[in-house]
Structure 1
Amino acid sequence: MDIFRLIQDIKTHLKLSFNEVDKWFDKDNKTLNYQPSNGGWTVQQILEHIYLTNFYLLILIEKGSKKAMRNYNDLDVNNEIKNYSFNQEKFEKVGKYGAFEWIRPEHMEPKGELGLKEIRSLISLQYHQCLNYLDLMKNGEGLLCKTTMTVNDLGKINVYEYIYFLSLHAQRHITQMQNNELELM
């Protein structure tokens, strides 16, 4: 496995996802506040949900990266790299809106307590946090810690995969926002 290629691919995915999310902050109020006919979230609520989900995922990513860096002294990163294969197929559904039932915890539901400017700024900071973690674990260290991800039965995933999951989650909701906008037209 070319770990450097994997890290670069995740960085590229993050950039594309976060850039696309950022464009939604420039939409007009009618688009941002449109309540879809299915009773789903408005674009503004979706943006807040993306921020909240990133917030909680980044707590796990931070813990995982610290543990991975500690494990660097005790585990053979080269052996981990040699035996690792990224199963992109098992992650594909995460980025597809409606591909499976997604039951989110209550603390990830938008409450309308944050303004749009603040959410935009926080999401931008979260993007840079992800890049910093990838830079910190630039030599494969992210493989040295796995944490269970219950969403879509992903099971134990490493820190790189958690960051990729975060990016896919945003991609999933980009589709949801696009659906809202299409229905509004």
Structure 2
Amino acid sequence: MDIFRYIQDIKTHLKLTFDEVDGWFKKDKETLNHQPSNGGWTIQQILEHIYLTNFYLLILIEKGSKKAMKNSLNLDLESEMKNYSFNKENFDRVGEHGAFEWIRPEHMEPKGEMSPDEIRSLITQQYLQCLHYLEVMKNGEGFLYKTTMTVNELGKINVYEYIYFLSLHAQRHITQMKKNESETIKN
């Protein structure tokens, strides 16, 4: 396994996803606050949800990165990297809006208490946090700690996969925001 390419691929996915999310903050108020006909969230609510989900995922990623770094003192990193296999199909479905039923916890639902500027700033900080963890675990240490992820039955996933999951989750909602926006254009 080429760990440097693996990490670079995650960084690239993060950059493309976070850049696209950031672009949504530049939309006009009418687009951001349009209530879709299906009764779903507005784009502004979706952006807040992305922030909230990132917030809670980053708590797990931070704990995981610390444990992975601690484990790197005692575990065989080469063996872990050699035996690693990536379940690309299950992960890629995470990024597809509507690909499977997703029941989110209540604490990840938008409350509408933050301005778009606040949310944008926080999401930018979250992107930088992800890059920081990838830098800290630049030699493959992220393989040395796993946490259970129940979404789409992913099971035990390593710290790198958690970061990738965070990026895929945002990607999933980009599709949702595009659907909302297309509805505002029709009206």
| Structure 2 unaligned regions, length at least 5 | none
Tell me which residue corresponds to 1:32: 32
Cα offsets for 1:74-105 (capped at 9, x unmatched): 10111111111222122011000000001000
Q: CA deviation at 1:163?
A: 0.1
Equivalent residue of 1:148, what SS?
strand
Q: CA deviation at 1:139?
A: 0.3
Distance 1:104 1:113 in 2: 19
- TM-score, structure 1 normalization: 0.99
Tell me which residue corresponds to 1:182: 182
Distance 1:104 1:42 in 2: 17
Distance 1:4 1:100 in 2: 32
Tell me which residue corresponds to 1:164: 164
- What amino acid does structure 2 have at the position aligned with 1:155? G
Distance 1:123 1:184 in 2: 25
Q: Does 1:124 align with 2:129?
A: no
Distance 1:12 1:174 in 2: 17
| Structure 1 runs of 4+ with >6 Å offset | none
Q: Does 1:151 align with 2:174?
A: no
Distance 1:6 1:100 in 2: 26
- What amino acid does structure 1 have at the position aligned with 2:108? M
Tell me which residue corresponds to 1:74: 74
- What amino acid does structure 2 have at the position aligned with 1:56? Y
Q: Quick one: percent identity of the two aligned structures?
A: 78
Equivalent residue of 1:40, what SS?
coil
User: Cα RMSD over matched residues?
Assistant: 0.6
Tell me which residue corresponds to 2:103: 103
- What amino acid does structure 2 have at the position aligned with 1:166? L
- What amino acid does structure 1 have at the position aligned with 2:92? E
